[in-house]
Structures are given as C-alpha cells and as structure tokens.
Chains A and B, each alone.
Chain A
Amino acid sequence: MPPQMKGLVQFITDIRNAKEVEQEHQRVQSELIHIQKQFQQSNLSAYHRKKYICKLLYIYMLGNDISFGFQEAVQLGISKNYSDKFISYIALDLYLQLDPTLLPLIIQSLKRDLDSSVEEINCLALHFLSSLSYDSESAEEFASSVFKFIRSPTASPMLKKKACLTMLALFKSSIELLTTNPDWIARIVPLIGSDSLGLSLSACSLVEYIARFDHDACRPAVILAVDKLYRIVVKGECSQDAYFYGKPAPWLVCKLFNLLETMIPDVTSSDVLDTDSLHKVKEIISISITSAVNNQNGSHSSEVKNTSGFVLFSALSLAAHIDPSPDQAFKAAEALCSLLETADINSRYLTLHALSKIAARPDNAGVKAITNSFQIVFKFLRDRDVSIRRATLDVIYVICDSSNVESVCKDLLSYLAIADFAMKSDVAVKISVLAEKYAKDAYWYVSTIMKLLSLAGNFVEDEVWQRLIQIAVNNDSIQSMACQTAVKYLRTGNYPESMLKVSAFLLGEFGTQIEKTCPGVEQFYLLYDRYFQATLSARSRLLPCFLKFYCRYDGIRPQIIDLFEQETNSFNLEIQQRALEYSKLVTMNDKHALLRAVVTKMPPFTSRSSPLISRLGNVEGLKQSFKLPDVPQISMLQDHHQNLIEPLQVSKNTGRAAPPPPPSRHSTKPGVLDSLISSPPSRMSSRASSRAATPLNNSGLMNHSSSGLFSNSENRSTSSLVRPHIPVFSPNWEEGYYRLVHFDQGIFYENSIMKVVYRLKREKSTVHLQLTYSNKSPSTISGFTCTLTPNCKSVTDPGYTLSTIKNPDTMVYAGERTTQMVDVVAKSIYTNSEVPLLTMNYICGGVTSTLKLKMPTVLLKTLVPGAALSKDMFFTRWNQIGTNLGNAGEGQKIFRANRKQTPANLKRLLELAGFNNLLDLDPNPDNLVCAGILHTTSANSACLLRLELNPTDLVMIRLTVRCTLVGLSNVIVDTLSDLLTNEL
C-alpha cells in the first residue's frame, strides 16, 4: 500500500466524527469552498490537485452533488505519474457520467494515452473507455485504436484482454462496427485459445456477443473452446494460480460452456459440431458433472460447494443442448427433482432454473420427468424465499402444455388466493398466457380468465383483461358465454374493478345475446349501480357502454341522459369530454342518425401477439436458447424489446412437439374448438376478409406462431449484418490450387510459418481429404483452426457436403505437425467457383493471421477411368449423346495453353484427371480421345472427351466433351481449360 494523502485522511476522519447530519453537511460545504479556492491558484502542485479531486470524489460518494473540478481532473491527467493519471481517470469517469457531452473535450488526451508506449497508461485509457457510454460516432472514433491492441504482436496478454472487453463495450454501443470491419472477427476468435486464461476469458465474452450477430464467422470458436475445455477439464492442464477452491479455472470453464451453448443451440439440428468434438464435449460435461456432484456431497466449505455448484449448473445447462437423447434429459430431470429436497437454498434456486432449462428442450422429455414430481415442485410456491417462489413459477410455466393446462391453471388459481402481493401479478400474467396458449375449450378459457379477474383483479395488469376482450371480439362463439359469466360475477356484488371494466365492455358490446337470461335493463342496473363507486378509469369505460345501452333500450334513456349531463361537470377531462360528446349525440335533433353511425360493432382486433408476452420475464428466453441466435437488423436493434416478442413465440410453438389431441370428453362439443381454431366467424370474414385469417391459429386463440415463424425466417435471410460474401483469397493461392487440380497430392500452401500438404483419395462420389499442417516457425502456433465452408453464398445448397472426420490440433509446437481429415461428397453438379473455401486462423509469435484458400476439390475429382472402348462403340456413344441431348450434352472450347504442350504431357494430365486414354481411336495421332465416369450421389455420368492440339504451335487447343448428364460437359471443359491456361 502506498502512503495515503494526509489531508484526505483528515477530511474523511472529520466526516466520520460528525455526530449529526447537519455537522457533516457543514464540513462538506466548507471543504467545497476551500477546494474551489485552491483550484483558483495558478501554481497548484499535482499532489494537491490529486488530493482535492479525491476529496471531491468522496464528497460525491457521501451523496452530495459536485459541480466543478472537471478542468482540474483534465489537468491532472497531463501528469506522467501513474497515480495522478489514475485519479484523473476515476474523476473523469464520474464527470462524464454526470455530463456525457464533455467527451469531445478529452478525446485528444485519450488518444494520446492509447498511443502511449507505456502499457499502464494504455490500460488506464482502456479502463476508462470500457465504462463510457457512446454514440455510434465516438465508438467508431476509438474502435481502431482499441483493435490495434488486439492485433498487435507486441501487446501483452494483459493489454489484449482489456482491449477485448473494451471492444465488447464498443460493439454494444454500435454493432455496425462489425459490419464495417468484417475482418476483425477472424482476428479476435483465435484469442480464445490463448495461454493466458484471462485473455481467453475476455475473448470468450467478446466472441459470445459477436456470435449473436454473426454466428457463421464465429464457427472456429467451437473447436477452440472444445480444445481449451478438454485441456483444462480432461487433461488437467491448468496453472496452479488459476485454481479456485479446488476447481481449475471455474469461470473460464463456464464462459466456454456458455459460448458453446450460443454456438450450438441444438446439436441435432446443427452441423457446427463434428463427431470428434461432440465426443470430447460429452466427456468434458460428464467429468465436470461427476466431480462437481462429489464436491456437493461431502462436508466441504460453502466456497467449495458454490464453486463446484456453478460449474455443475453450467455443465447441466450445456448438456441440455448437447445430449440429443430424450432418455438423458429424463434422467437429468429426475436427478434434479431429487436434488430439490436436499439442497441448500442457493442450490435449490439454481436447481429450479436448471429444471426450467431442461423442460424447455425442444423435445418433451424433461417435461415428463418433472410432471412426475409435480407435487414436489408445486410445494416450493410456498417457500419462504420469494426468489425460490418465482423460480418455481417459471418451472411450472415451462412444463405446462395442453395436456396439463387445466390442472396447472386450477392449482395456480388456488395459489393466487394465498400468494403474497409481490407474486400475484406474476402468477396472473402466467395463468393468462397459459390459458390462452393451450386452451382446448373456449368456455374453459373464458371462465378461467374471469375467475382470475375475480380473484386477483386488483393485482393483474390491464393487459390481462384487455386480452380477454380482444379474444371475445374475435370469436363470436364465446361472446354470450362471456357475458353470462360477467353477469354472474356482477350479481354477487363483490368483485374487483377490472371485472367491472371487462363487464362494461362485454355487456355493452354483446349484451343483446343474453337478453333471455338477463334482460338488458337488469344488465344496465348491474353496471349503473356501481358507477358512482367506480374510479375514473372505470367510469370512462362505463360511459360508452351506457351510450350503447341508450341505443338499445328506451326505458332507461332518461337515466342515461341525466348521468351524461351530470358528468359534463366532472373534474376529470376525459370523463367530461366523453359526457359532453355523448349528451350532444343523444339530444341531437336527427332521430339518432349520427348516434347510430357512431355506435357500431367493434371490428376484429388485428394485434398478433399477446401484450402479456413481454411481461413474462426471462422464461420464454429459455426456449430461444435452443435456436440459433436471430440476427437482428441494425435498425431494429434499438427496438430490442419489441423485437423479442415474435421470435419467442416461435420457439414455443414450433419447438415443442405438437400437443396431444384433447381428451375425448371435449369431443362432445366439437363446434367450440373449431370455431376458435379454424374458421373465422362469418361477421369478420364479411367485414374484413383480409384480416379474418390472422386472428386464428392452431395452438392458441390468437395466431402468434405462424406470423412469428415467418418473420423470423425472413429476418435471418435478409439480415443486413450478413456480409456480402466475395471471398478474397490469400496471396499466392493459385500455385497450390492448380498444382492440386492437376495432381491428387502435393504441397498446397507454404509460407514462412507453415506448410500445408494435401492428399486426396477418390472413392466414387466421395473424396477423402487429408491436410497436414507443419509449423515451420521457431515458435508455437496457437489458436489454430481450419474450417472448410461452401464458397457459394449465392447458392443456398451447394452441390456437395462437407464432413469433418478429424480437426487439427489447435496448438502446433515448433517443428511439429497436425492433420485434418475431411470428406467431400459430390451430390450434384457444381462449378469451379463453388468449390469449398479453407479458412485458417492462427496466432504465431503474437500475430494473429488468417489465410483463405480455394480448395482444389473440383467436381472432376470424382472421375474414374471408364471402360476401354472400341472405336465403333466410342463413336456410337459420342453420337448418341449428340442426338439425345444436342447442345446440352456437349461443351467445347478453343483456348491457348500458357506453355507449349506435347501430346505425351496432355495424355498424362488427362490420366491424372481420371480419364482412360483410348489409343489409336483418332486418325490423327496427336489428338487424344478419352472416356471416364463421373460420380455424384444423385447420378453417375459417362464422360467422353476429345482434345486436339495444334501441331504447328503446340499451344492452341480445342477441347470437346460430351456427357450423359446435362450441364456437366461445360464444367469439365472449364476445369481443364482453366488448368491448362493458368497452371504455374
């Protein structure tokens, strides 16, 4: 500890000795005056300036406002002394929080500190930048300076990790930075493999965030993360200082788990993870879980338990994504349920969250297991900790589906009666959403929501009863029943005000439908009698209702007119205006013509999703985590919240297996469900046919799912963040490319750091690739990833599939090598411009490098020699293709080879390409005639070829190819002519 500043210590002591608030206040005021005076001195030393700024900071922390000192803080920053600069930055951080417009005044000094050659000064500037809130312009301003540290070969891991997280802050302010700098990602991702665990940790957070916007570009992170985890968890490679209560690098392990979760939302639908890595991930998870469970049991300290606990729950969370077998999910859910009873409170809380997660899996496996222990789970709604109660409610919400919705809602309704105030609103929202989502019976839905209103009407959000109204308006069949239920509650005389509001709407709109059981006049008095006890917001809803009654029933008109007139004197503007307008309308001398024009039926609602969804908190997000991150459009980023609504719906409805058909007792009233689900009520279809289709769908009463699904997929394909894909290959890519289009093995690429040797084996439509990477440099290559991707973003489905058999190691020591094995399977015809792209990322000597190479796996590599054909047979087939396919079967090109050729050379070249040379078929001995068979999984094709070399110049070539598969001959002609004109 450096010595403290005496004056500051004295001041703090004075404050602490102040016996009363008043005394403290006086001391602060006199100090403020003193500081202000000191600041006016021209020759204030840095030490004194620092001391006074510290005092100001302390005064602020005591809860006082400070209005001066910014200039002094800037001044202090000019000092070369570290602690002066440090205090200056703390103060500036505060002043900028107080007034963000000050930023331009310090941009210059910030940049100077970022450019400083002293690492500690760079760090201070990065700390400061990481806590600023930016507009996108100033984010742009600093981004390249921050990226400089990430890229720099000389920057220490310390600087790099700080730069990574500062970059994260910048991205959060302005994700456009990613679009304008697409090459940054490839430089950031390899840092995950860094030896410095702090840097790896920071890079993980950054990549995890980027992956939400550009999932594809972050793919190499999966292999790096798996490798890092494997080293730490399985091989136990972790330095002693990174252990925390017996766990190796627990936070890094969790961050890597999180990253994998983001990258692999659902292993069954994702090709991100190859078999090799999947195997490793399972081993990692299983070891993490076993060792954590062991620590949970013994008599360990709470720190040991907590630490292994958070690793355990992260592992479980990832396991829900990785393990595709429903059986496993079932077992995991059962194990968790048993853990519920014994665990301590914190673990119980997390166990409940883990249960929600497993239940949210796209298959229903977890739900079944939890349903068995439903009573145990339900018990925790009565836990004494509100956090546990909320977590329990989330679990219940997630496991509810159409098979158990009635009993769940019933239980929740009875819980509502005893729930504490903090929970009531949450419970009400969830009942409301569940009832709507899984209702099999419209009557049940209405009675459930009405019961909900009667029980907790004063606690529910307005959206709950508004939603009921929307659904009633859009569904003719439930209107009379809804009115009757409303009357039932009104007659009891004891109901909350939200019931009054709903009833006012329902009876005003549909009251005529129940006149037989409850005459209109009675309906009116049920509402009217409550009018003067009602709040203003209820009154403003009752007034239009009375206007509707006025149109219908003569007998009560005088009373209604009286009321309107009386309310024209209301103090409330809303009420007064309504009353004025209504009384004018009813007393107009036009035989109520205008009134009838104003009072018409409510048109159907078009709002697509329930407004309640946004009030669900994070439970819906659980299901989203099993999907690839949606790429939000930039313009929508600001609207983050609204944007969430629809995709969330999707996951719920498409992710879950279709609800089982309703039990048979519902079949006794078939019409009910149908009218809700399929056929729009006639009134709507006649009135607004374009809208009629929207409000109905298959899983609930309203149609969030279909529209949500649509908008979701559209979001992705039109996403503005997916960069236009024009591959730029690394310099000197051609040499190796043409060499290996020509041959099947050889040196593919070489630079001062590494050498890549390529080997290819043909097996019908599959080519087995083996790439060997040798480290030529004197230092270790780390963060090494090689990914093959289809190089055809314009075509959604390339003519081949890529499957990784083995990934190369992410670490290659000097002089060592590693291999990658990939199978390419030709499915159909693909052109040379569609061949896969190899992207290599690595760090060597602190420099992050990226190489992009075009793979020489052209379609021609699935060609094998054809049978030896006689002259007659060859020309018969040649002519057959000509007559059957015409021009579509033939490809021809005349071109100039880039060097002199001999027939013998060309013959060897064609044999290497896979052709069978047929000798003596052509009268001219310099011409070559060949046959071959090309394999794809969809079709095989005979390929006949004739090559004529100009004997005088030996460079002009005419190449003619005929194939039985339409479109193939041109691809072959292109490949061979490209090779002959470009080979180096």
Chain B
Amino acid sequence: MAIQFLLALNRQGKLRISKWYANIPESQKRQLIRKVHKLISSRDHQKQSNFVQFENQKLIYRRYNGLYFIICCDLASKDNELSYLEVIHLLVEILDVYFDNVCELDLIFNFYKIYEVLDELILAGELQETSKDLILNRLHYLDALS
C-alpha cells in the first residue's frame, strides 16, 4: 500500500478532509488524527523537514496558511517523500483553481466535493492522474452533469 490516508487539519486540529486508503479500524481513526495533529503541530516549520516518522509509517505534510495537508504512507514505499510532497502541492493547486482561490471555508462548505477531486487524483492509495488540466476538465465536466 502506498498512501495509507490523506488528511487536512487546521491548526486547532479540526478535521477538514479525511480519506482512508488503508483498512484502519473505525475506532482508531479519531485517535490517529489526534496523534498526527499533535506530532505535526509540534514541529518547527522553518528548521525541520516536511517528513516525519509516525508509528511504523511516515508522514509527509505541508502547511498552507492555517491548514495542514498530510499524506501518510508506508515506510517501505518506493516513492520518495518529495514526490508525495508535490502530490500535496498538486492537490492544493487543483483546489485553488477549482474553488477560485481556495480557502479553508471552501473546504468546509464543499467538504463532499473534495472526495470528487481526490478520486480523480488518487485511487486505491496510488496516484492516478497528474495532469492538472485533465483533472480540472474532468471536474468541470462532472459538475455539468449534476
């Protein structure tokens, strides 16, 4: 399994996006989110890397204003951490165009839309498409359907 889960949390630890690719028991999810927030918010963003080991996995995260985007992946994953960091950036760029200058409120009020965006980018924990134009065209096409 490559990506185990993807989260977006604000600085207070409030959940904005969660997508689980690995089979994690429901009972552990909330605790997991708390632990991830605690670990990441305690790190120095100037002087520390964007990667940190978390239990037997690794977290790749990046902060955009008040929002942390976090990907958790397998320690043994062959894809290197920087490539996941740029997946996060790709996601944020797509959201930015899609929501026309995205902010936390967009993610809150359109929380269900985010799944649609993610499903075009990542599937089964693996990257599915990386062309920003293709994904955005697809999203607009799907919007026209509803």
Contact = CB atoms under 8 A, between A and B. Distances in A.
Interface of A: 1-2, 4, 9, 12, 16, 54, 57-58, 61, 63, 81-83, 86-87, 90, 97-98, 120, 123, 126-127, 130-131, 133, 158, 161-162, 165-166, 168-169, 172, 197-198, 201-202, 205, 208, 239, 241-242, 244, 249-252, 254-255, 258, 261-262, 303, 306-307, 309-310, 313-314, 317, 345-350, 353, 384-388, 390, 617-618, 621
Contacts of A98: 26
Nearest to B16: A61
Nearest to B30: A63
A384 B48 contact: yes
A250 B110 CA distance: 30
Contacts of B119: 123, 127
Contacts of A261: 78
A412 to B, nearest CB: 19
A384 B76 CA distance: 24
A249 B145 contact: no
A49 to B, nearest CB: 14
Contacts of A254: 79-80, 83
Given A82-B142, A87-B112, A250-B86, A350 B21 contact: no
A81 B142 CA distance: 11
B32 interface: no
Contact of A385 (B48, B78, B112, B126): B48
Contact of A306 (B48, B85, B98, B134): B85
B129 A198 contact: yes
Contacts of A205: 2, 126-127
Contact of B128 (A82, A131, A202): A202
B52 A63 contact: no
A451 to B, nearest CB: 27
26 contacts: A2-B143, A16-B108, A63-B15, A63-B30, A86-B142, A97-B26, A98-B26, A131-B21, A168-B124, A202-B123, A202-B126, A241-B131, A258-B78, A262-B78, A306-B82, A306-B85, A306-B86, A307-B86, A309-B82, A310-B80, A310-B86, A346-B81, A349-B51, A385-B47, A386-B52, A387-B52
Contacts of A123: 119
Nearest to A132: B23
Given A2-B146, A87-B112, A618-B75, A241 B127 contact: no
Given A1-B143, A242-B131, A90 B112 contact: yes
A47 to B, nearest CB: 11
A241 B2 CA distance: 25
Given A1-B143, A16-B108, A130-B123, 4 more contacts: A2-B146, A251-B86, A251-B130, A387-B51
Contacts, number: 175
B91 interface: no
Nearest to A617: B75
B57 to A, nearest CB: 10
A131 B124 contact: yes
Contact of B130 (A82, A197, A258): A197
Nearest to B126: A205
Interface string B48-75: 1111110010000000000000000001
A537 B15 CA distance: 41
B83 to A, nearest CB: 4
Interface string B24-61: 00100010000000000001100111111100100000
B112 A57 contact: yes
Given A127-B123, A133-B23, A166-B123, A310 B128 contact: no
B103 to A, nearest CB: 13
Nearest to B106: A1
Contacts of B109: 4, 9, 12
Interface string B110-124: 111101100100011
Nearest to B59: A387
B124 A201 contact: no
B82 A165 contact: no
Nearest to B138: A158
B128 A165 contact: yes
Per CB-CB distance, the 10 closest pairs between chain A and chain B, nearest first, are A83-B146, A310-B82, A133-B23, A198-B129, A241-B133, A310-B83, A385-B48, A169-B124, A165-B123, A82-B145
Contacts of A346: 49-51, 81-82, 85
A322 B107 CA distance: 45
Which of B44, B87, B145 has the largest number of chain A CB atoms within 10 A? B145
A788 B137 CA distance: 43
Given A4-B109, A58-B111, A618-B76, A249 B123 contact: no
B44 to A, nearest CB: 7
Contacts of B134: 198, 241
B86 A303 contact: yes
Given A90-B115, A385-B47, A349 B123 contact: no
A502 B78 CA distance: 40
Interface string B1-17: 11000000000000100
A195 to B, nearest CB: 13
Contacts of B79: 254-255, 258
B108 A349 contact: no
A818 to B, nearest CB: 29
A198 B18 contact: no
Contacts of A165: 123-124, 126, 128
A127 B21 CA distance: 11
A158 B123 CA distance: 12
Given A83-B145, A162-B128, A201-B127, A387 B86 contact: no
A350 B82 contact: yes
Contact of B47 (A172, A313, A345): A345
A841 B113 CA distance: 40
A172 B1 contact: yes
B68 to A, nearest CB: 16
Contact of B86 (A197, A198, A244, A249): A244
A4 B99 CA distance: 13
Contacts of B52: 386-387
A349 B82 CA distance: 10
Contacts of A353: 80
B44 A250 contact: no
B20 A131 contact: yes
B84 to A, nearest CB: 9
A388 B53 CA distance: 10
A293 B62 CA distance: 24
A384 B47 contact: yes
Contacts of A387: 48-49, 51-53
Contacts of B47: 345, 384-385
B51 A249 contact: no
A123 B75 CA distance: 30
A136 to B, nearest CB: 14
B130 A252 contact: yes
Interface in B82-107: 82-83, 85-87, 89-90, 98-99
A292 to B, nearest CB: 11
A198 B131 contact: yes
Contacts of B78: 208, 258, 261-262, 317
A307 B87 CA distance: 10
A218 B136 CA distance: 33
Nearest to A308: B82
B130 A198 contact: yes
B15 A61 contact: yes
Given A244-B90, A307-B86, A310-B86, A201 B145 contact: no
B130 to A, nearest CB: 5
A432 B111 CA distance: 49
B59 to A, nearest CB: 9
Nearest to A127: B119
Given A57-B112, A205-B2, A303-B89, A251 B83 contact: yes
A618 to B, nearest CB: 4
A87 B116 CA distance: 10
B50 A198 contact: no
Contact of A350 (B80, B127, B130, B133): B80
Nearest to B19: A131
